[in-house]
Structures are given as C-alpha cells and as structure tokens.
Amino acid sequence: MTLSRAFLLFGSDEREPTVQRLQAGQLSVDLVGGNLRTVRFAEREVLRGISFLVRDRDWGTCEAALDGVQIEEGAERATVHYSARFAAPDGAILRCNATIALDLQSVTFAADFTADRDFETARAGFVVLHPVVGVAGRPIAVEHGDGTIERAVFPDFIEPWQPFKSISAITHEAMPGVTAECRMTGDVFEMEDQRNWTDGSYKTYVRPLALPWPYILKAGETLRQSILLTITPSTPPVAADGRTPEAIEISLADISQTLPEIGLGLRPEDLTEELRHADLVAELGARHLICHFDPGAGHGVEALSGFRRIAQASGAKVTLECFLACRQALDEELKAVAADVETAGLTLSSIAVSPSVDRQSTPPGSTWPDCPPLEAVYAAAQRAFPGLPLGGGMFSYFTELNRKRVPAGSLSYLTHCTNPIVHAADDLSVMQTFEALRHVTRSVRAIYGGRPYRIGPSTIAMRQNPYGSATKDNPLGRRIAMANRDPRHNALFGAAWTLAYAATVAEAGLEVLTLSTLCGPFGLIAAAGEPMEDGGKRPLFHVLKWLAELAGRAGVSVETSASDALVGVGAATDSGRTVLLANISPQMRVAAFGSVGKARITIVDENWMRSRTDEPKAVDLRGESVRLPAYAVARIEIPR
C-alpha cells in the first residue's frame, strides 16, 4: 500500500483548513477557518491572530461549521461575511454572523451570536493574540474600561496572573515608526501571558476569569462583540523581506552547559506492552525511567514490580512520579508507598511527590483547594525515603508551577511538564510554542536560580487535563486541542517537534529531559494504522537516541538565520562535533554549513519512511549544504 505524503508527515490524511491571504496595500491577514491569523503590515507581524472562539464547559474547543462564506477583494480593501454554527457536547447550538473588513490601515472583525437553547460555555467571544518575538519586554499602552491609560511593558519573565485587566484597547509599536491600536467592544477583556502554556503569544480574551465558569448563554439572547485594529505609521515603514532565504545559514558555537540525560516515561496502563519492549530502553540509551504512580488510581505493587523488571533489563535509573491523595496523615500515606516499593524490590534513584489536587489548575479568582503545606508534604517524603533525592514542582505544566511556587529549599530538583495543544492544535501553533518555551526555562531560572531542573514527560498529546474533567478522545486522529492522542507524534512532525524541543532548552542546564513514554500513545512503538509498521519504531525514537548519545557532553549552540524554519542542537564529541538539525516547517529547506570537512549525515525524512528500513544510515555529506524536506531531522557528524 502506498502511503500518502500527508500521512508520513502528520500521521493523518486530515487536511488543515485552507489559508487564504487577504491584502489591502501593505496590510495583510491570513483567513483560516473563519478566523484571522498572522496580521502583517509591511511584511512584519503585528498580531498573531484575531479569533472568535467558543469553548465547552471543560475548555475544549467547539469547532465552527461555516456556511455562506462571501469574500470580496479589491486593491485597497477586502470584506468577508459568513455564518457559523458551534455545537456543545450536550447538543446546544450557538449561531454566529460574522463580518471582517480590511482596508489600508485597519482590520475590523465583528460578530453577533445567539444560542438556540441555554448554552454552557467556559468562554464565547473574541481572542486577540499579540506575538512574543520582538514584543516581550517592550512598551504597551492599555486603555481600561474607565478610560484611564496605563503605560507599562509586555511581561519579559512569564507573568503567572493577568498582567492587564478591564481592557478596552491595547497600543504597541509594531515596528519602528508604526503603532498598532487594538480596540475591543462588547464585553470585558483581560490579558493573560499565554507563554505559561508555551503558546507563542500574549492573549487578550473576553470575560474575566474571576467570574464563574462555566456559565450560560441564555436561549434567544443575541450578543455582539467587535475588534478594531488600526495601524498608524509616523514614518514610511521599511518593508521586511517576508521570504525565507533559499539557503539558511548555520553557525556553531560552544556553550557552557552540558546536554541533559534523556528519560522515558512508564505508565501502569501500558505496562504489558512496556515489559514486551523493555530492551528498547537500553537500545535508545535512556538513563532515567520516570514512573507514573498514583495509588488513588489503583496503582500498587504490581505496577512497581513491572517498573523493577524494566529497570533491571535496561540498567536505567528509576524516578517515581508519585501522586498523594493527602486524605490521611502524610507519614502514613508515604510510608505505605515506601512499603510497596520495598515489597516490589524496586530500587529508586529519586522520588518526586505532588498532592493530587495540584494536578488541577486553580484559575485566577478561584479558591485554592484544601491541601497540606508543601513543606509538610516534602518533609514526610524525606522521612519515608531517607537519603533519597527528592523532586518537587508540578506534574502538570509550568503554569501551575508559576502560580503555586513550591518551597524549593528542601528539594533536590525541580520538575514540571509542558504541552503544546492546550489552546490550539494546528501545525503552525504547535511549532510556534518554541518561541515561548525558551521563556519558560528563563522564568524558572529567574524564580529558582541554579537548582537542578528536570522537564517531562512532555509530548504533543496531553497526558492530563488540569483545566477540565478529562482530556479529549481522538479516535479519528485529528488535530484537536487537549487530545490524549495526537497522530503527529507518530510521524515526522513528532520527530521534528521533539528535536526542536531539545534544542530550545539546551542552554537551560537541565539534568533530565523526558519527551516520550516507552509505549502507548505517548511512546516510541508504532501501533496499527500508523506510518511505521505495527510494533516498529516511530521516527522520534531515532531523535531521542541521537540525543541520548550526546547526554552529558559539552553543548554546541546551533544558530540558524531562519529559526522559524530550521533549529538545532549539538555537542562536542571525541572526534569533533555532532549537530542535530530539524526542519520545523512544511517546506523543503536548505541548510548551509560552510566548510565542514569530511562530514557524515543521517537523515530521517519521508523518503526513509517510505523505505521502511529499521535504522537510518549515515552517508557522506557532499558539498557545504544539505536539503532537508518538510519536518525532516538530521544528524551531522563533523570531524575536527
């Protein structure tokens, strides 16, 4: 059977919505699924997006079904009209009539919406995204609902709570000599620093989080909201070259950090398959097993015994990621865990503990749930596991660690995860999360200093949903926010995402980085109906193996002249340097290295996937550049 190119790249033949560029002079927008993204003036990004969004009660996205789309375009203006239908999980329908108007210096997006019956939602209305690159730490003027103007800056380090509330308009300098004012009407807006979730944006959204949610849109009541973006040049703008250069320059430099050891997650739910593939841990070179353990979910000696067998087969160190119900005396609860560990014969290298209530987020304005002081939790863990390195932080995401900062003085290391599909799951948004990820590690270092630091397991698919009652099932393999399975993990996209993640955090000085489980939907082993054969290795296996080979070595910074297309990481080796490179774009890219001597290159791309050979092979690198197809990853060995 011939596999489609889309299937090899994304693990799915689902097509992303069509992107239509609308232009009026130097102002342009991309129309995608009825919303606007990448608003540009003189080829520079002014806004990342303007969207009308509807969330269900658990913050899942209600997809828009568009009808009657009408587009009129001219040299100096464009208009769009459409109707949209949003369906809640209980069958309630919200109908929306939208109008978009674009002229030489403004964009208007207005919407009227009405529910056919009471509609339960966590949010319904406009969301405006300001970009991060070139904006973080820069001046902003915020007009509030009472008419006052606050002059401040976009947060540099990630702000845990809303930096600005009661917003009527936001003005910032989009480029030298050009200001952009974004005015919002129809409800109360506020901003959150969406980098908390690794979104590459600052988000201004409708309805304050301090108000109760979910809430009800009453049947038959029509609401209206609008967004007006006005561009004001004080001098003629110099247009940027919006094209990515044909050849992307690659430059290498030594850095002070060593590269982290690579971990693999283990889950009791996948234990049977994990035991069957235990030999792959050593083949990969993973040095840590991050073992998920939740007695409240029924995990016990059987799971711990399975972890022991995998550890013995691989020689990897074991970290227990242990949730605590905190419903009895902490000493009793943790001594019970210690007794189960001893009964299973499991030798731990470290343990990380977290109260179960901390797996759920506490939004701004909400009441914190009952929870023992973390100082008491950590002290009880140290008594139950004397002398064992103790980790703390959050098993959810950086957002929760930023909002509930842990007392780190007694901890041997800090830990948290990230997830790129909390708010959006399209390909571009997922790859843009790396713009924010570097701010996550910067912010952790600003808060906690040089304390040992671990990240993961972090994958494209969502392990747990801190913002609702459950993750989203995804049986059809679509691009769905908060999904517990994501087809891209199984394909080239997942390999490129994994390498880009490691490259982005390379200078954070991590001890351990975990970007996969061993098996299951977050793992290394392909299932039926995937690009690789059932039981074979998913493409990200090879990326993680390459990373594991470089663990503990002095890092090499890989700078590219187009970091939104090619990213990389490297390390010094006994024979020279090894560079790992990922194309994080859907186009062929040319990486120009200059003179690298008799280098060898290994490429994992769609051609290799079609061959279905088990191991990619190294070949001589001919010339001073290499062509990398969409979402390809490469390993380049450069001799001294």
- C-alpha 576/C-alpha 566 separation (Å) is 22
Alpha-carbon dihedral angle through residues 610, 616, 620, 626, given to the nearest 10 degrees? 60
Rg (C-alpha) for the chain, rounded Å, is 25
Residue 531 confidence (pLDDT):
94
DSSP secondary structure code for residue 406 in this structure: -
Enumerate the H helices of 233-358 as residue ranges. 271-276, 279-284, 301-314, 330-344
Q: Are strands 222-233 and 178-185 parallel, antiparallel or unpaired?
A: antiparallel
Three-state DSSP string of 127-151:
EEEEECCCCCCCEEEEEECCCCEEE
The phi and psi torsions of 540 (rounded to 5 degrees) equal -65, -15
Amino acid letter at 435? E
Residue 238 confidence (pLDDT):
61
Q: What domains are there in the chain, each with its CATH number?
A: 18-233 (2.70.98.10), 247-251+557-639 (2.60.40.1180), 261-553 (3.20.20.80)
- C-alpha 583/C-alpha 639 separation (Å) is 23
Q: What is the pTM assigned to this prediction?
A: 0.95
Residue 59 confidence (pLDDT):
83
DSSP string for residues in 459-502: -SS-S--TTSS-PBP-TT----TTBS--GGGGSHHHHHHHHHHH
Q: Is 74 exposed, middle or buried (0-12, 13-18, 19+ CB in 10 A)?
A: exposed
- C-alpha 452/C-alpha 79 separation (Å) is 54
In our burial notation (b when 16+ CB lie closer than 10 A, e otherwise), range 548-562 reads bbbbebbbbbbebeb
Residue 239 confidence (pLDDT):
58
Q: Which of 196, 275, 248 is nearest to 439 (CA)?
A: 196
Residue 132 confidence (pLDDT):
98
Query: Any residues with CB less than 8 A from the CB of 179 and at least 6 apart, and which?
Result: 171, 172, 173, 231, 232, 234
Neighbours of 438 (CB within 10 A): 18
Residue 573 confidence (pLDDT):
96
- On whether the CB atoms of residues 226 and 477 are closer than 8 A, the answer is no
Residue 242 confidence (pLDDT):
54
* Residues of the chain where predicted confidence (pLDDT) is lower than 50: none
- C-alpha 4/C-alpha 1 separation (Å) is 10
Residue 443 confidence (pLDDT):
99
Per-residue pLDDT reduced to its tens digit, 297-335: 999 999 999 999 999 999 999 999 999 999 999 999 999
Token pair, residue 312, equals: 């013995």
- C-alpha 145/C-alpha 270 separation (Å) is 52
Q: Terminus-to-terminus CA distance in the chain, angstroms?
A: 44
Q: What 3-state DSSP class applies to 201?
A: strand
- C-alpha 477/C-alpha 149 separation (Å) is 46
